[in-house]
């Protein structure tokens, strides 16, 4: 057994180099002080807490969408998994806030990150990025993060991506990644069926590029679905119902139970698609969902307090710091930021838990997106990015 373990360790890339370096240090009689900080610095390079970014190009994709191309003035950017995001920090009219955006560019080049931004009705940050950002502007962001990416060990090689609107951003990066992997390994059997839903024909993001990719790669199939087409549109119309998904995937080599489904789009889109896959009896472990922010109308969700109007105002008190009024249908983190308070945050979708605050008194509504741990519930913590205060509350940040 020891010999077997030793053989396995020597097969690990870099293991022998580490042994040789350790032997060299031992011969010099070192106390290893010169090694202090090396590991921490290496980790910081690969997984930085903050990035300084500069806009080098703004690309008009559709009437409602732009791609912002960002570089690091100091050199190359950290590596990322295709499908991951960065949390972009902005200041708009004195309000400091942030939003997560999937990196839509290829993970195989690190000269720049592309962030593809779609205008949202009454969107605070999306409208600012669409209207006010130009070449030369600078931003700060987190390093790449998130778990929405293809894991070949657990996800298999038959992939279906359901994209809605700007949810095409991580799909584009994943397609580029699979193309690279297949180029490196001609025996690879990875394939993807992209089902891309858009409201209007002129709002299909990356349309020509995706068509070219499909023509170039036999392993890639793309189905286009338009919900509000022109009268002369000859493609697929409507929404991604269970029946339509079945029709589009019929005849493919893998059964539904062998496919891995990825869903990305507005909250209403991924909730709807998840329900359709449930109808098709797709197991939850075969579905990956990238959430795009908190629910828009929390008052329509199950367990919302009866009779509580969305426009009702309540008082939020931050222990030892101050207080302010907020609407009950606004996420707690958003209202905090509007009044000059904040906490560390990244996903703004209830998953990463960085924005946790402790509720000392009062009530908050936590939708399913909150992904609260049992200990959070037991000790009064909430994820402020998706928590809605439903009474006067006191919190600790």
The answer on pLDDT for 200 being more than 70 is yes
pLDDT reported for residue 10: 62
Residue 11 in this model has a pLDDT that exceeds 80: no
Class in CATH terms, 302-396: alpha beta
Share of the chain above pLDDT 70, in %: 90
The boundaries of every CATH 3.40.50.80 domain in the chain are: 152-290
57-99 residue pLDDT tens: 999 999 999 999 999 988 789 999 999 999 999 999 999 999 9
Please tell me the pTM assigned to this model: 0.84
Answer for the pair 225, 238: CB distance below 8 angstroms, yes or no: yes
Res. 149 pLDDT band, cuts 50 70 90: very high
What average pLDDT score do residues 9-31 get?
Answer: 69
- CATH 2.40.30.10 maps onto the chain at 51-141
Band the pLDDT of 268: cuts 50, 70, 90.
confident
Residue 370: pLDDT band by 50, 70, 90 thresholds? confident
Q: What pLDDT sits at residue 311?
A: 95
Q: 381: pLDDT confidence band, cut at 50, 70 and 90? A: very high
pLDDT band at 13 (very low <50, low <70, confident <90, very high): low
Strands 356-361 and 393-396: antiparallel
Question: What is the topology classification, in CATH, of domain 152-290?
Answer: Rossmann fold (3.40.50)
Segments of the chain assigned to CATH 3.10.20.30: 302-396
Q: Residue 368's pLDDT is what?
A: 84
Contact 213, 175 (CB under 8 A): yes
Of the candidates 257, 291, 296, 258, the residue with the CA atom closest to the CA atom of residue 274: 291
Per-residue pLDDT, 188? 86
Q: Mean of the pLDDT values across residues 372-383?
A: 91
DSSP sequence for 41-110: HHHHHHS-S-EEEEEEEEEEEETTEEEEEEEBTTBPPPP--TT-EEEEEEEETTEEEEEEEEB-S-TT--
**pLDDT higher for 171 or 188?**
171
| Rounded mean pLDDT, 302-322 | 95
Mean pLDDT of the chain: 90
Q: Average pLDDT in the 102-130 region?
A: 95
- The Cα–Cα gap between 160 and 192 comes to 6
51-141 maps to CATH 3.20.20.140: no
Give percent above pLDDT 90 in the chain: 72
* Per-residue model confidence as pLDDT tens digits over 32-47: 555 555 444 444 455 5
**What are 314-339's pLDDT values in tens digits?**
999 999 999 999 999 999 999 999 99
Q: In what order do the strands lie in the sheet with 393-396?
A: 322-327, 313-318, 393-396, 356-361, 381-383
In the prediction, which pLDDT does 2 show? 52
Q: For position 196, what pLDDT does the model report?
A: 98
* pLDDT (mean) for 226-252: 93
């Amino acid at each position: 057994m020891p010999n077997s373990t030793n053989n396995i360790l020597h097969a690990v890339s870099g293991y022998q180099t580490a042994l040789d370096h350790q032997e060299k240090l031992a011969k010099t009689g070192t106390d290893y002080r010169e090694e202090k900080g090396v590991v921490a610095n290496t980790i910081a390079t690969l997984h930085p807490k903050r990035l300084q970014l500069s806009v080098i190009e703004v690309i008009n994709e559709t009437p409602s969408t732009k791609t912002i191309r960002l570089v690091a003035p100091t050199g190359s950017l950290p590596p990322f998994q295709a499908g991951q995001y960065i949390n972009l920090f902005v200041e708009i009219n004195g309000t400091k806030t942030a939003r997560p955006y999937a990196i839509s560019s290829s993970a195989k080049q690190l000269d720049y990150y592309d962030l593809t931004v779609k205008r949202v009705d009454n969107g605070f940050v999306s409208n600012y990025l669409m209207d006010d950002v130009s070449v030369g502007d600078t931003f700060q962001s987190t390093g790449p993060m998130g778990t929405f990416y293809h894991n070949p060990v657990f996800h298999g090689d038959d992939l279906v991506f359901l994209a809605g609107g700007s949810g095409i951003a991580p799909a584009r990066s994943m397609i580029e990644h699979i193309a690279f992997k297949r180029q490196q390994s001609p025996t690879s059997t990875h394939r993807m069926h992209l089902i891309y839903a858009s409201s209007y024909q002129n709002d299909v993001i990356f349309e020509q590029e995706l068509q070219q990719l499909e023509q170039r790669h036999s392993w890639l199939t793309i189905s286009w679905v338009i919900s509000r087409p022109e009268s002369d549109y000859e493609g697929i119309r409507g929404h991604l119902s269970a029946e339509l998904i079945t029709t589009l995937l019929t005849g493919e080599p893998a059964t539904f139970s062998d496919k891995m489904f990825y869903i990305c789009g507005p909250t209403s889109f991924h909730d709807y698609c998840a329900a359709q896959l449930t109808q098709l009896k797709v197991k939850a472990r075969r579905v990956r969902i990238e959430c795009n922010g908190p629910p828009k109308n929390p008052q329509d969700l199950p367990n919302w307090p009866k009779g509580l109007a969305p426009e009702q105002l309540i008082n939020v008190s931050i222990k030892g710091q101050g207080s302010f009024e907020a609407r009950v249908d606004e996420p707690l983190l958003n209202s905090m930021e509007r009044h000059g308070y904040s906490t560390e945050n990244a996903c703004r979708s209830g998953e990463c838990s960085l924005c946790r605050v402790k509720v000392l008194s009062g009530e908050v509504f936590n939708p399913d997106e909150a992904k609260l741990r049992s200990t959070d519930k037991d000790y009064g913590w909430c994820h402020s990015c998706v928590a809605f205060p439903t009474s006067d509350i006191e919190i600790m940040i």
